Amino acid sequence: MKAWILRSFKKGIITTRFPKGKNEVASPWSTTPVYRDGNANPYCPTGAITNKKVDANLCISCGLCYPEFEPSMDVRGSISHLSVPALKKSIRLYSIDVGSCGACNLEVMAMVSPQYDMTRLGVSFTNTPRHADALLVSGVLTPGMMDPLRRAYEAMAEPKIVFAIGACAISGSLLGKSISDALKIDVIVPGCPPDPFTIVDAIQKSRGLR
Amino acid sequence: MKQSGVAHIIDGNSYYTLERFTDVPVILASEGLNGFKHENFSSTDTERLSVFPYGPSSGGMVESVYFDILTQGEKIEDVRYDTDFKNRSIKISGLSMNEGLLRMERMNGVHAASYSTLFCQICEKGMNLDVPEGVELLRVAMMEAERISSHLFVASRLTGGASQNIAHMNILLLREDLLRAIASVFGHRYFFGVNRIGGIGRPVNLKEFGKKVRLISDEYVEIFNTLMDSRIFIDRLDKSAIIKGEHSSGPALRGSGINRDGRNFHRYYEGLDFKATTSEGGDALARFIVRSGEIVESVGIIERAISRIGEIKTGSQGVREVEGTISGGFMETPSGDASMLLKIRADKIESIGFRSPSILNMEAFAESIPASTFADFLFGYESLGIWISEMGDLL
């Protein structure tokens, strides 16, 4: 026990000041690429690039547009179509994987780690959609998960928010269908997978804190 | 094609299969190619017992998977599973090799370095491409960093499940530090877009990377030693989900005392002075000990690989058109050995055969659980590092 306590003191404070402060780091290619030089329409496997612009909803972070494009390093690229002030103090999340590669799941879970410490923002996970304010959906919509996704949504109380986490959930990317075939998306969190800072930023936007 | 216990391709009237830890396809009968399918319990099973359904979406699990747990009070009599709920049926055949690579990276994104390397290596072999040694060593460094990250994740799940909250948070902290270091060197926390067929996709700067992973590993060893002094933690894992024999993969295999690691047979690892970690017991504790040993071992491999990597030019080699060839390979991913067969014609993948380690480990888990208690379920499952995403069909 003593060893654990000493270890904690030695570490000091390592939690980010984000979103009040700036994010210390970013996963470069998880941020939306921006035009740098050369061909304005290089090959993009999802057709995300048109005339020097990248559609973040389609971008799968493959980097095939390099060197014409480079990462923007902007982690605030999420879009929230609503704002729910009732959840300003506390929001409970239920994460559901409808066909992901696993990376989005782990980036959602990374928010628990001490560098992000999501509980300081009043954000926590719940093990049942019945207690959830928001559904964090990752992956392409597979036929087998269509019904569990709908049932999870129906089990939630109002107000309820649907987050599409990552390119697969938003647009279907290369591998399938978007979750918009089953539910209306309220918050778009781009990236493949999104940087944990982007997910934190999106949660804050959804409750009117950004 | 549905995955079975052996990677295979059906080509006309022939079955091409790939034995474990080999890269030479052989023609074989369909023996051993039965898929693993969900079966329901029969009424005689459930006469005096209860069926506890768990999943497919449940708060305690990382991915979507369904279990029927046949139980008598706290004791588990049997378990059946269904991993098809999130099956994406990823289509690879008919695509160019470069398009196939993008999909392989996203089959199991958490082990993208291993799977993209496996795929590239088989394509390169099929086309007789000469890949610079520096690229191969860089791939080794990526895969070993991925192994450390993956093992730290499993360790965090086990410590979290055992309510060792301070250890849990310390391990999460280390894993996040590692992911950040990976992102700064490779441009992506999960190595997406780094591997290209015959080369690499973006410049990497490995300066200080070896030092950083060494610091992370040293800190992990301190945490591991402190955990090994905790009877509470050890008692949770000890004798949980005992797996014996060869029908498992990776740390599960080595945790049952079998000294078999695909890296020992893979040419990428030649001269990297690597020793496989084993443990006796076959339980969740043995697998945890193996993973912890592998974290330290992987740091040594990364350091030695980096010391031999010279300058690497960015870019892939042009894809060569081939007549129609079946090429195979294996890779020791963090969860265990994976095998893959590709039939390549012109510049396209004509068909694919694949066997993931999770296919073997899930079956081993289901066989290990009867006579366990509910408390063992979590530790048994998490200690295996099973990824449902890699158990789906590759078409």
**DSSP-derived secondary structure for B122-183:** HHHHHTTPPPPHHHHHHHHHHHHHHHHHHHHHHHHHHHHHTT-HHHHHHHHHHHHHHHHHHH
**Domain contains B325:** yes
H or E stretch at A164: strand A161-165
| Domain edges within chain A | 27-73, 79-206
* Residue B26: predicted pLDDT: 77
> Could you tell me if residue B241 is inside a domain?
yes
Q: Tell me the pLDDT band of A2, cut-offs 50, 70 and 90.
A: confident
In this prediction, residue B73 carries a pLDDT of: 82
Search chain B and give the residue with CA nearest A28: B187
- A207/chain B closest Cα distance in angstroms: 23
Cβ-contact A189, A101 below 8 angstroms: no
Query: pLDDT, tens digit, for every residue of B150-173?
Result: 999 999 999 999 999 999 999 999
The model's pLDDT over A20-63, given as tens digits with 9 standing for 90+, comes to: 999 999 999 999 999 999 888 899 999 999 999 999 999 999 99
Greatest alpha-carbon span in chain B: 67
Q: Contact, B352 vs B342, CB < 8 A?
A: yes
Asked if B346 reaches chain A (Cβ–Cβ under 8 Å), the answer is no
| B56 inside domain | no
Q: What is the CATH number of the domain that holds B98?
A: 1.10.645.10
Establish if B151 belongs to a structural domain: yes
Phi and psi torsions of B164, nearest 5°: -90, 75
Dist CA B5 CA B237 (whole Å): 27
B46 occurs within a structural domain? no
Q: Any bridge partners for residue A189, and if so which?
A: A165
B100-122 b/e (C-beta count within 10 Å ≥ 16 → b): bbbbbbbbbbbbbbbbbbbbbbb
The answer to whether the CB of A31 falls within 8 A of the CB of A131 is: no
Tokens read off for A108: 């959602």
d(CA B239, CA B281): 8
Q: Could you tell me where the beta strands, DSSP code E, fall in chain B? A: 7-11, 14-18, 26-27, 50-54, 66-72, 75-82, 195-196, 199-200, 322-333, 336-346, 348-355
**Mutation site for B-interface testing, chosen from A24, A27, A95 by largest number of B Cβ within 10 Å:** A27
Per the structure block, which two tokens stand in for A149?
Answer: 């996704």
B134: CB partners within 8 A, 6+ apart: B309, B310, B311, B312
The pLDDT tens digits for A90-120 are 999 999 999 999 999 999 999 999 999 999 9
What integer pLDDT is reported at residue B375 of this predicted model? 85
Q: CA of A56 to nearest chain B CA: how many angstroms apart?
A: 16
> In the predicted model, what is the mean pLDDT of chain A?
93
Asked if the Cβ–Cβ distance from B173 to A114 is below 8 Å, we say yes
**Model pLDDT for residues A146-156, shown as the tens digit of each residue:** 999 999 999 99
pLDDT band for position A1 (cuts 50, 70, 90): low
With CA atoms as reference, the chain B residue closest to A63 would be B193
Residue B137 lies in domain: 7-27+80-390
Across the beta sheet with B348-355, the strand order is B322-333, B336-346, B348-355
Q: CA A186 to CA A164: how far, in whole Å?
A: 8
Measured N-to-C along each axis, helices B133-161 and B284-308 cross at an angle, to the nearest 10 degrees, of 150
From residue A139, give the alpha-carbon distance in Å to each of A2, A136, A193: 42, 10, 10
First to last CA, chain A: 40
**pLDDT tens profile B166-214:** 999 999 999 999 999 999 999 999 999 999 999 999 989 888 999 999 9
Chain B: residue nearest A31 by CA? B188
CA distances from A137 to A108, A148, B58, B374, B388 (A): 10, 12, 13, 28, 17
Say if B36 is an interface residue toward chain A (CB within 8 Å). no
Specify the number of domains making up chain B.
1
Contact (CB<8Å) B189/A115: no
Q: Which fold has domain A79-206?
A: Rossmann fold (3.40.50)
Task: Please indicate, yes or no, if residue B72 is contained in any of the structural domains.
Answer: no
Q: Give the closest residue to B215 by CA, choosing from B290, B148, B273.
A: B148
Q: What is the DSSP letter of B317?
A: P
What pLDDT does residue B86 have? 94
ipTM metric: 0.94
Give the full edge-to-edge strand order of the sheet including B75-82.
Answer: B50-54, B66-72, B75-82
Q: Assess contact for B89 and B395: CB atoms under 8 A.
A: yes
CA distance B79 to B65: 13
User: What stretches in chain B show pLDDT beneath 70?
Assistant: 28-47
Q: Is the peptide bond before A71 cis (omega within 30 degrees of 0)?
A: no
Partner residue opposite A8 with nearest CB, options B102, B166, B222: B166
Query: Residue B324 has what pLDDT?
Result: 82
Task: Estimate the crossing angle of helix B209-227 against helix A2-11, to 10 degrees.
Answer: 150
| Per-position DSSP letters for A35-72, written without gaps between them | E-SS-SS---TT--EETTEE-TTT-----TTTTTEEE-
For B56, the closest of A106, A145, A175 (CB atoms) is A145
* Neighbour-count burial of B2, counting CB atoms closer than 10 A to its CB (0-12 exposed, 13-18 middle, 19+ buried): middle
